[in-house]
Structure 1
Amino acid sequence: MTDNSITHRKRLVVLGGGESGVGAAILGKEKGMDVFLSDYGNIPQRYAAQLEEENIPFEQGGHSEHLILNADEVVKSPGIPPTAPIMVKIAEKGIPVISEIEFAGRYTDAKMVCITGSNGKTTTTLLTYHILREAGINVGLAGNVGRSLALQVAREHHDVYVIELSSFQLENMYDFKANIAVMLNITPDHLDRYDYKMQNYINAKFRIIRNQTPEDAFIFWQDDPVIEAQLRQITIEAAKYPFSEHMEEEAAAYVDTLDNLIINTPRTSLEMPRKDLSLHGLHNLYNSMAAGLSACLLNIRKEDIRRALEDFEGVEHRLEFVADIDGVRYINDSKATNVNSCWYALESMPPGGNVILILGGKDKGNDYSEIEPLVRDKVKAIVAMGLHNEKIVEFFGGKVPVIRDTHSLQDAVDACAALATAGDTVLLSPCCASFDLFQSYEDRGRRFKNAVKALKK
């Protein structure tokens, strides 16, 4: 070994100063690396303070190429596209680029339960975490929800991690392995990131099974046509555990003719009445099946799984009950930022045409025909809420009895209150991103809840 190899410290450059980036920087420091963090925008104050406290050099408001292009390896925030100018230069220099999850996975032998899908992954991730935590497992929550996996690996020890993974996070994962991989569904989303080619998006999602062996498990929705088509084209090493609404050949989870949820794995099997599940609606049945299968494969006692599936309280901004005012139920589904999410919300509503649906926001090229049958069957009025409602008003004109065109949240809630009568449900499930009127879907959801609660006064 030469003197040079003894003195050279690996230079790790982290791009992005959010939760994942700061966690990766701290893990790099813990492992003795020469760490530098750079953010093209502004780093939130709490993360900047954390970097200062850790004595990790960083910059914000731009990228200094001479401090970045000398990296041995780059950890990239999921939100930075590969087409960003700095990423193009990093690629030209041949510097390896990985994700925070990939980086953290090198330094832990914990079991990894990884969950992806176009819709439902946050609920399934939190439900799985809830089951394991309530069963007394030393479990960490990471990825799109929870805290940075890298930070937890650096400063804590968990036996199992439950990780929500977006397609963006999966892009730069190479050697990482999920012991249990969950694929809930695949519908068009983020296609602007994938050259508007659906197959590119599918390929990114399917990176979740990368490196799996026959000792690992792949849990997936058996009736998703996109997943089904992809499985016909590839070879899966892992043991397969499909779930379905009804009993089908090979299904490891389903609902039987007596309306009982059945879950069968080599380690654990359980049966419970579907009506006892805390989460209602078909999409939540699938989420519960995926979480239950994961827990069974980890050998959690069936009594613990059953109890946790019965008492889970759900996710903020996802079919969240807000209030009952004069017999009208108000539901916050602000997390429904695409048409397919709204479809799941409407599917969970009772029939009878008693839904007042709030739609609108920043349109991502939406095709509303997917929800048209459910709207005709269940919706008595649509309240459009956004800067540009023309597309919604035009598409649904003549298909619902009433359409109201509003341009603020307060006007939308007032319109709903005026239209609603006892027995109705007001559902905020916008189909759209929030950035026309709000900072985020969380901001939209919280302001909706505040406006609804103000109706009580």
Structure 2
Amino acid sequence: MKRLVILGGGESGIGTALLGKAKGFEVFVSDNGNIKQNYKDVLIHNEIEWEDEKHTESKILNADLVMKSPGIPDYVTLVKKLIEKGISVISEIEFASKYTNATLIGITGSNGKTTTASLTHHLLKQDLDVGLAGNIGDSFAKQMLDHNHQNYVLEISSFQLDGIKNFQPHIAVLTNITPDHLDRYDYNFDNYIASKFRIVENQTKDDYFIYDADDPVIENRMNTHPIQSKKLPFSLTKRIENGAYINKETIIITIDNNQITMPIKKLALDGKHNIKNAMAASTVAHLLKIRKQTIRESLENFQGVEHRLENVLRINKVQYINDSKATNVNATYFALESMDAPTVWIVGGEDKGNDYKELFPFVNEKVKAIICLGVNNEKLMNAFGNMVDVIIETQFMSEAVKVAYKVASAGDNVLLSPACASFDLFENYEDRGRQFKDAVRNL
């Protein structure tokens, strides 16, 4: 009986443990931190051996196969020891994909992948049996046990792609590449780019690659590293033969002479970046033969993703907007770009080597006050201190929202768009977004 060791007892770890057991592995789950009680209950109920708050090396280094959580970097000593012993260390996406014949749609990118994945799922679910998994919702492995859908839309992070060997999505989508998570890639942007492009490395000429043709990083990489799959680019500026582009406020998507058109003004989501997300998702739907009418209707009624430019409440004619999912500068760039009123901006958290320069034009033009929310706000104070009349440091979400309430006037926006990771004051970006919404509702 082959031994499967799982490092990390979170959503992907528990899903893999259940699937591994069902496929006849001897399974052991090990987490250096605390495994949540609901996950422990699942492991106990399914008689799967586990430990938390430690890694017992003797029980790990005898594995035939190791699935590690995307949160564990490759450079930790335990992972290095496994690799030195020649033990295969893979991600949940790699493990689960071995056990399905479903059509896989893999979506990655620095920004927009959650919205694009959610929108793609929304477009497909009317006509197809489709699951939504990966970095979002229930784990891919667990869904395969529970439902085994005929199609899966997978939102995939670079960390998950680092752990693939044979994973081959039939349709790969790359929304964009901007510097992010560089602390995990030796502060080398090229390493991060290579990681994102792993999504196409096992594709053949029978597969498809949908990507942003306006992104210079993607274009440069494709010029030096040719790919095998059929290319379906999307662009806001170029005319595209096979793929998606814009002509006179209309999105035009063409695949093998079969065309679908959609007026931009009918899209439910605002902002240039969301036109791109809609193009990518619609190209997938068009490729999978979803009816044109279904695609149009679904684009018109899609409600968006929680914590991504989410309108929370309007209080005294001030709109409060939750964009907690903006964990890097580029995401916040899109948020500030789409603001159409004077904005009180709540920003800050765990800085991943951010360069705030690209935000300066929007801050000068649209931001009337900045509220810093982090353990260490020095870099923000230095970057923006001279640009706005009001810049205030806070340590708690409730305090940040109260200050925003005082500073904002009728007709303004209050925008939480942190441009940073959340781990200094919050459990994760969802926790940060929920605390913001609770604080707004308690005003």
TM over 0.5: yes
Q: 1:155-197 CA distances to partner (integer Å, 9 max, x unpaired)?
A: 3221100000000000111111010000001111111111111
Q: Is the 8 A contact 1:321 1:332 kept in 2?
A: yes
Confirm whether residue 377 of structure 1 aligns to residue 369 of structure 2: no
Query: What is the DSSP-based 3-state SS (H/G/I as helix, E as strand, rest coil) of the residue aligned with 1:97?
Result: strand
Confirm whether residue 106 of structure 1 aligns to residue 98 of structure 2: yes
Name which of 255, 261, 264 aligns with 2:254.
264
Q: Distance in 2 between matches of 1:303 and 1:224?
A: 30
The equivalent of 2:77 in structure 1 is 85
CA separation of 1:418 and 1:76: change in aligned 2, threshold 3 A = same
Name which of 360, 363, 376 aligns with 1:388.
376
What residue identity is the alignment partner of 1:242?
A: P
Q: Distance in 2 between matches of 1:281 and 1:202?
A: 25
Shift of 1:136: 3.0
Query: What is the DSSP-based 3-state SS (H/G/I as helix, E as strand, rest coil) of the residue aligned with 1:275?
Result: helix
Shift of 1:250: 4.0
What residue identity is the alignment partner of 1:163?
A: L
CA separation of 1:108 and 1:84: change in aligned 2, threshold 3 A = same
Q: Is the 8 A contact 2:214 2:237 kept in 1?
A: no
Query: What is the DSSP-based 3-state SS (H/G/I as helix, E as strand, rest coil) of the residue aligned with 2:353?
Result: coil
Q: Distance in 2 between matches of 1:69 and 1:405?
A: 47
Comparing 432-441 with 91-100, which one deviates more in the overlay? 432-441
Q: Distance in 2 between matches of 1:31 and 1:144?
A: 23
- Stretches (4+) displaced over 4 A: none
Q: Distance in 2 between matches of 1:208 and 1:310?
A: 29
Query: What is the DSSP-based 3-state SS (H/G/I as helix, E as strand, rest coil) of the residue aligned with 1:240?
Result: strand
Q: Distance in 2 between matches of 1:342 and 1:59?
A: 39
What residue identity is the alignment partner of 2:211?
A: F
The equivalent of 2:199 in structure 1 is 208
| RMSD, aligned α-carbons | 1.4
CA separation of 1:25 and 1:411: change in aligned 2, threshold 3 A = closer
Q: Distance in 2 between matches of 1:326 and 1:400?
A: 23
Matches within 5 A, 1:46-445: 46-133=38-125, 135-250=126-241, 252-257=243-248, 259-266=249-256, 268-350=258-340, 354-445=342-433
Query: What is the DSSP-based 3-state SS (H/G/I as helix, E as strand, rest coil) of the residue aligned with 2:422?
Result: coil
Shift of 1:344: 0.8
Shift of 1:416: 1.5
Q: Distance in 1 between matches of 2:258 and 2:283?
A: 9
Q: Distance in 1 between matches of 2:49 and 2:181?
A: 33
Q: 1:272-320 CA distances to partner (integer Å, 9 max, x unpaired)?
A: 2111111110111111111111111111111111111111111111100
Gap runs ≥5 in structure 2: none
Q: Is the 8 A contact 2:182 2:353 kept in 1?
A: no
What residue identity is the alignment partner of 1:224?
A: D
CA separation of 1:215 and 1:251: change in aligned 2, threshold 3 A = closer
Query: What is the DSSP-based 3-state SS (H/G/I as helix, E as strand, rest coil) of the residue aligned with 1:232?
Result: helix
Q: Is the 8 A contact 1:267 1:299 kept in 2?
A: no
Comparing 201-210 with 58-67, which one deviates more in the overlay? 58-67
Q: Distance in 1 between matches of 2:423 and 2:68?
A: 24
Q: Is the 8 A contact 1:267 1:297 kept in 2?
A: no
Name which of 430, 437, 443 aligns with 1:449.
437
Equivalent residues, number = 443
What residue identity is the alignment partner of 1:39?
A: D
Comparing 157-166 with 399-408, which one deviates more in the overlay? 399-408
Give the structure-2-normalised TM-score.
0.97
Q: Distance in 2 between matches of 1:239 and 1:218?
A: 6
Q: Distance in 2 between matches of 1:81 and 1:398?
A: 38
Q: Distance in 2 between matches of 1:264 and 1:383?
A: 45
Comparing 399-408 with 117-126, which one deviates more in the overlay? 399-408
Q: Distance in 1 between matches of 2:374 and 2:29?
A: 37
The equivalent of 1:17 in structure 2 is 9
Gap runs ≥5 in structure 1: 1-8
Shift of 1:405: 2.8
Q: 1:373-423 CA distances to partner (integer Å, 9 max, x unpaired)?
A: 111121122122223222222221222233233332222212221222221
Q: Distance in 2 between matches of 1:272 and 1:264?
A: 12
Shift of 1:65: 1.7
CA separation of 1:418 and 1:155: change in aligned 2, threshold 3 A = closer
CA separation of 1:15 and 1:268: change in aligned 2, threshold 3 A = farther
Comparing 198-207 with 68-77, which one deviates more in the overlay? 68-77
Shift of 1:268: 4.7
CA separation of 1:46 and 1:422: change in aligned 2, threshold 3 A = same
Shift of 1:345: 0.4
Q: Distance in 2 between matches of 1:91 and 1:18?
A: 22
Shift of 1:246: 3.0
What residue identity is the alignment partner of 1:211?
A: N
The equivalent of 1:3 in structure 2 is none
What residue identity is the alignment partner of 1:25?
A: A
